Amino acid sequence: MTDITEAELDQIERANATGRPVVVFVHGLWLLSSSWDPWRGLFEQNGYATIAPGWPDEPPSVEEAREHPEAFAKKMVQQVTDHYLAAISRLTAKPAVIGHSFGGLIAQKIAGEGASAATVAIDNAPFRGVLPLPASSIKSAFPVLGNPANRSRAVALTFEQFSYGWANNLDEEEARRLYETYHVPAAGAPLFQAVVANFNPFSNNEITADTKNPDRGPLLIIAGAEDHTVPLAITRSTFHLQQKNPGVTEMVEIEGRGHSLTIDHGWPDVAQPALDFVQRFLPAD
């Protein structure tokens, strides 16, 4: 079991003490857990307790994360998944799990373990079996994948790279505000793991999700229709794989939205279908 920080333990204990159903938020690359704060407020206003653990060794603030990018280096997908599973194991009941980008992949890995009562994956990173690799996705990942040494490093995006991969549907003023407010260096390793996930299907690959587990539970996939980093081809392929599960599998495509859809001005339009879905399968009193 991975180490849980004191701050994460405090979140877990407070969530358990409320007696309310819990929603766990999982962030992806280039963000911190604090990026979920508006979402947590919305879900708590609607009767839920929430926790948002960070990735292992994650600094507590954007400023510290930028000063210590080495904290993110060499973080692997299974290591991060195990950290969230360790946090979930301390809850008194199965939570709902909501994840974005690589957090959306991790949320589906958690669901595949039967550890989630309901799951929402937003613009999820691809896992083994998701075959499309669109040109815009390759271009968005190239700042990392373009240098093999980045596998063991943390990599920050330039504003121009962030604008293409994340903020392509926003004006420059908002794009700069998001970049300055939220963007932090990210581990390069998960992108290298994802890009080779389908090349050797017989390897013990961490980029997998058990889509067949009957205990996976209900799953909603939310896709930003204009996402350059995770284009619709990836989320639609994810949906078709997950749709074979006996559990409820649904998909919502949100027009005009890019990869920043969880943090930009339109985040409530993304959070509302996620909330509606969770309320159907894990209702709050």
Give the model's pLDDT for residue 1. 46
**What whole-number distance in Å separates Cα of residue 231 and Cα of residue 8?**
32
Say yes or no to pLDDT of 8 above 80: yes
Backbone angles phi, psi at 39, to 5 degrees: -65, -40
**How many Cα atoms sit within 13 Å of 77 on the Cβ side?**
28
Query: Residues with Cβ < 8 Å from 40, sequence gap 6 or more?
Result: 23, 25, 50, 52
Distance from CA of residue 24 to its chain's centroid?
11
CA proximity to 253, closest of 235, 229, 272: 235
Confidence of residue 2 (pLDDT cuts 50, 70, 90): low
**What whole-number distance in Å separates Cα of residue 219 and Cα of residue 254?**
17
Q: Domain 6-281 belongs to what topology? A: Rossmann fold (3.40.50)
Domain ranges of the chain: 6-281
Mean pLDDT of the chain: 95
Query: What's the average model confidence in pLDDT over 85-109?
Result: 98
pLDDT in tens, 25-76: 999 999 999 999 999 999 999 999 999 999 999 999 999 999 999 999 999 9
Give the model's pLDDT for residue 201. 59
Query: Picking from 1-5, 91-95, 256-260, which range would have the lowest pLDDT averaged per residue?
Result: 1-5
CA proximity to 128, closest of 115, 112, 150: 112
pLDDT in tens, 159-187: 999 999 999 999 999 999 999 999 999 99
Query: Residues with Cβ < 8 Å from 82, sequence gap 6 or more?
Result: 1, 2
**What whole-number distance in Å separates Cα of residue 222 and Cα of residue 270?**
8
Query: Picking from 74-83, 191-200, 239-248, which range would have the lowest pLDDT averaged per residue?
Result: 191-200
Query: Which tokens go with 173?
Result: 């003023």
Say yes or no to pLDDT of 246 above 90: yes
Say yes or no to pLDDT of 203 above 70: no
Confidence of residue 102 (pLDDT cuts 50, 70, 90): very high
The rounded radius of gyration (Å) of the Cα atoms in the chain is: 17
Give the model's pLDDT for residue 131. 86
Give the model's pLDDT for residue 202. 52
Q: Do the strands 22-26 and 49-51 form a parallel or antiparallel pair, or are they unpaired? A: parallel
Query: Residues with Cβ < 8 Å from 87, sequence gap 6 or more?
Result: 4, 8, 12, 24, 51, 53
Place of tokens 């373009």: 146
Query: What's the average model confidence in pLDDT over 230-249?
Result: 97
Q: For the purposes of burial, counting CB atoms within 10 Å of the CB of 17, is it exposed (0-12), middle (13-18) or buried (19 or more)?
A: exposed
Share of the chain above pLDDT 70, in %: 98
Query: What's the average model confidence in pLDDT over 109-135?
Result: 95
Global confidence as pTM: 0.96
Query: Which tokens go with 142?
Result: 């190239």
The 3-state secondary structure of the chain reads CCCCCHHHHHHHHHHHHHCCCEEEEECCCCCCHHHHHHHHHHHHHCCCEEECCCCCCCCCCHHHHHHCHHHHCCCCHHHHHHHHHHHHHCCCCCCEEEEECHHHHHHHHHHHCCCCCEEEEECCCCCCCCCCCCHHHHHHHHHHHCCHHHHHCEECCCHHHHHHHCCCCCCHHHHHHHHHHHCCCEECHHHHHHHCCCCCCCCCCCCCCCCCCCCCCCEEEEEECCCCCCCHHHHHHHHHHHCCCCCCEEEEEECCCCHHHHCCCCHHHHHHHHHHHHHHHCCCC
